Structure 1
Amino acid sequence: MSAARRPADREHCVDKPAESGRVAEAAKLEPFQHSAALSLGVELELQLVNTHDYDLAPYSDEMLRLMAGHKLPGAVVPEMTSSMIEISTGVCQSTAQVQEELSAIRDALVKSADKLNIAVVGGGTHPYQQWHERRIYDKPRFRELSALYGYLSKQFTIFGQHVHVGCPDADSALLMLHRMSRYIPHFIALSASSPFVQGQDTQFDSARLNSVFAFPMSGRAPFTLRWSEFEHFFAKTTRTGVVRSMKDFYWDIRPKPEYGTIEIRVFDTPLTVRRAVALAAFVQCLAAWFLHDQPFVPEEDDYMVYTYNRFQACRFGLEAVYVEPTTGEHLPLREHILSTLDRLAVHARPLGATKQLQYLAEDVENATNDACWLRDRHARERLLAEVVRQAAHRFRSE
């Protein structure tokens, strides 16, 4: 994210920008790069917690120093606040490669955390952290965002999984983006792992996304099916000075021209690498279906039910109602997920993703996701710190 105006590097004060009174120079959209169709990249934002009371712990600098000693695929980088860390794969051609790379990074993270007497945890929110206690990571971009967004920056101590999928060209990327948008509720319900916020059960399966929606450039991408139209939209937007790059858009799905991908951003971080890989497999199989069968042409009217479907999935998870965009039919989201997984089976086989889709289908049939697991552990233990301890154990030893 960049700011619409350039604040001073202070957490609680935004200076008047030097360019006030002048229209900001419009940024240029990067050319859409070539990437292998259906290639994958996965990012996971993870929690760092102490092993005393299992609250968040500001140890990202120490973790980054220790992780620098490991020769690993992908990358490990800081995030907005110092109790977060982000890991990412390289460009992967299969979900087996995603599994291999994420597992290797996970194992190194666990070893490094053990040396610091802390733990690494998945999940979309920490169940009881207090946002005002968080520290903004000392990086110019994060300081700028903190100055612009105020308390929202610390409330952005939330944890998501992002999945990139390679597209043959720019126009195909936009077509895939809008086709993929019909499945945003599916992604949310399958990945939901953030029922608790500041010690309370929010009654949402994914409360994390409520924090994302607070940012001004969140939501959905504009309905354009030609890259030339998207370039025109980007030029108009940047001329206003509201945004300066694609990073300023917090859309649920956004194109990433520098990588030749689209990036799905609505997943909560799962509690296990296994589930993260299965979610990436679901995205890859959907993309294969779109490319090979061209199953439907997206329309702007699809978005009439978009916000409702997204809310249902955040609130009720797998028990949500799904409104089919074309017909307006109301049906259980679980049924639509299962029928979609069944339809994708023919594409999963050549991609080596059959087991991952079967794993997701079993959980859907049992009406369980990570939010259910967290609530179940809380019902048993009656102590959120114990829930976090068990979640940390699950992440390291699945």
Structure 2
Amino acid sequence: MTDTKPTELPPDRPPLLRSREPASGVRGGPPALDAERLRELFSGAGAGTVGFEEELLLVERATWLPADAGALVADLDDSRVKRELPACQLEIATSVHKDVAAAVGELRACRALIAAACGPDLAAIAAPVHPLLDGPVPLSPSERTEALATRYGEVIHRQLVSSLQLHLAFGDAGCTLSVYHALRDLLPELAALAGASPYIGGRDTGLCSVRPVVASGLPRQGVPPIIDSWEQFADDLAWLARGGADASEWWWELRPHLRYGTLELRVLDVQATTERTSAIARFVYALAARLAEHHHLGRLQPPAPTWRIAENRWVALRDGVRGELLDLRTGEARPARRCLHDLIDAAEPYADGSLDDVRALVDHPPVEHLRALGLDSVVPWLAEVFTA
């Protein structure tokens, strides 16, 4: 990351999901990655670049229940839009950008393409979970889906969860690992900010984000482990492979991504509108730039214990910005809203413009708007604002 005003990469740069050949240790690649190759991978990514992956749901307007997305994705025939694991889920993967605004613009354009392809009977929504459904759903047909269903059974059929995933590149392996631990400490604050899934199965769960509860049925979810070195990471991936899984199943809420040489932030609930997405993404990008600078200045603290972050993470999914988070070192309790406002103030000098839009999300949380709408109105509203 850099603190200079970025520029968009050339338009012929391939989409994020196809921007690199599979690295060794990734499904379809050579069998193993050693520490030296990992350092090369994470030092080779374009510093300051950003890309999004956004998971969405297709629903029938007559019932607001899930619809199979296969035909729509095939008709679109756009490499940026693909099917996901559940049959009703699709994903947008943007190109690689050096400008968050450009990435958001591409995301908005892709949403518009999807909305136009839906016709009168279907609608796309950006919902972290389906508000009216709680149970197994059909899966998209593929060899990978079959393999996952064999490994994880019915649990994999229940993973109708959608997140906004940000890929951040630093162009330096040491910086990447250092920022990984700094962002890891802040996962609860980011989750509280983005919490937008109070409903599931036609009921209010009392949580601000039920998505991670659903996701926790699978292993390797939630707060990721400390990675002491690239040697340790290589050993961990090799150990995972011996159990029959691979790096794509390292499903933590933050992970080094082996295809792109990025940090992939996976803690954020998908947002109903691209305006909300823009606010959160601009903040995260600026925050990462600040953390990268602090790494080079030697100002980042050692990683905190995983269980302490997990304690704050639970408060975040329950209470969102209305909760209190404990300082990971001292144990001092502070309102999550105050923590977020302090982070926004610290990140703003690294942003391209004001971060007042993300301050507004702290003061007027998306989850509270969803509750004000009520369960009967929430899915039609999500469809209405999909291209906003």
SS of equivalent to 1:87: strand
> CA–CA distance in 1 between the matches of 2:158 and 2:346?
39
SS of equivalent to 1:189: helix
The aligned residue for residue 250 of structure 1 is: 251
The aligned residue for residue 376 of structure 1 is: 372
How far 1:395 moved relative to its partner?
A: 1.4
> CA–CA distance in 1 between the matches of 2:146 and 2:240?
24
The aligned residue for residue 168 of structure 1 is: 171
* 5+ residue gaps, structure 2: 1-29
**Which one of the candidate residues 71, 80, 90 is aligned to 1:62?**
71
- 2:207–2:319: 8 Å Cα contact kept in structure 1? yes
Equivalent residue runs for 1:120-139 within 5 Å: 120-132=124-136, 134-139=137-142
Q: Does 1:84 align with 2:89?
A: yes
- 1:110–1:120: 8 Å Cα contact kept in structure 2? yes
Q: Does 1:359 align with 2:357?
A: yes
Q: Does 1:219 align with 2:215?
A: no
> CA–CA distance in 2 between the matches of 1:330 and 1:298?
19
- Equivalent residue letter for 2:188: P
- Equivalent residue letter for 1:173: T
SS of equivalent to 1:251: coil
RMSD: 1.8
Equivalent residue runs for 1:1-398 within 5 Å: 27-29=31-33, 31=38, 32-33=41-42, 34-58=44-68, 60-68=69-77, 75-114=80-119, 117-132=121-136, 134-238=137-241, 241-294=242-295, 296-348=299-351, 352=352, 354-355=353-354, 357-364=355-362, 366=363, 368-378=364-374, 384-396=375-387, 398=388
> CA–CA distance in 1 between the matches of 2:305 and 2:280?
23
* Deviates most, 92-101 or 307-316: 92-101
- 1:49–1:55: 8 Å Cα contact kept in structure 2? yes
* Deviates most, 291-300 or 251-260: 291-300
> CA–CA distance in 1 between the matches of 2:350 and 2:256?
23
- Equivalent residue letter for 1:95: V
How far 1:360 moved relative to its partner?
A: 0.9
> CA–CA distance in 2 between the matches of 1:242 and 1:93?
38
The aligned residue for residue 5 of structure 1 is: none
> CA–CA distance in 2 between the matches of 1:313 and 1:338?
15
> CA–CA distance in 2 between the matches of 1:222 and 1:209?
17
- 2:134–2:201: 8 Å Cα contact kept in structure 1? yes
* 5+ residue gaps, structure 1: 1-25, 379-383
* Deviates most, 339-348 or 211-220: 211-220
- Equivalent residue letter for 2:259: E
> CA–CA distance in 1 between the matches of 2:83 and 2:285?
27
Q: TM-score, normalised by structure 1?
A: 0.84
How far 1:327 moved relative to its partner?
A: 2.1
In structure 2, the CA distance between the partners of 1:217 and 1:304, relative to structure 1 (3 Å rule), is closer
- Equivalent residue letter for 2:116: K
- 1:303–1:325: 8 Å Cα contact kept in structure 2? no
How far 1:94 moved relative to its partner?
A: 0.9
- 2:316–2:323: 8 Å Cα contact kept in structure 1? yes
> CA–CA distance in 2 between the matches of 1:87 and 1:331?
36
- 1:175–1:225: 8 Å Cα contact kept in structure 2? no
* Deviates most, 280-289 or 105-114: 280-289
- Equivalent residue letter for 2:211: R
How far 1:385 moved relative to its partner?
A: 4.3
Count matched residues.
Answer: 351
SS of equivalent to 1:85: strand
In structure 2, the CA distance between the partners of 1:104 and 1:261, relative to structure 1 (3 Å rule), is same
- Equivalent residue letter for 1:374: L
* Alignment deviations for residues 253-272 of structure 1 (CA, whole Å, 9 cap, x no partner): 11013211010111111001
- Equivalent residue letter for 2:360: E
SS of equivalent to 2:234: helix
* Alignment deviations for residues 43-68 of structure 1 (CA, whole Å, 9 cap, x no partner): 1100111111211112x111112211
- 1:125–1:193: 8 Å Cα contact kept in structure 2? no
* Percent of residue pairs identical: 25
SS of equivalent to 1:375: helix
How far 1:171 moved relative to its partner?
A: 2.3
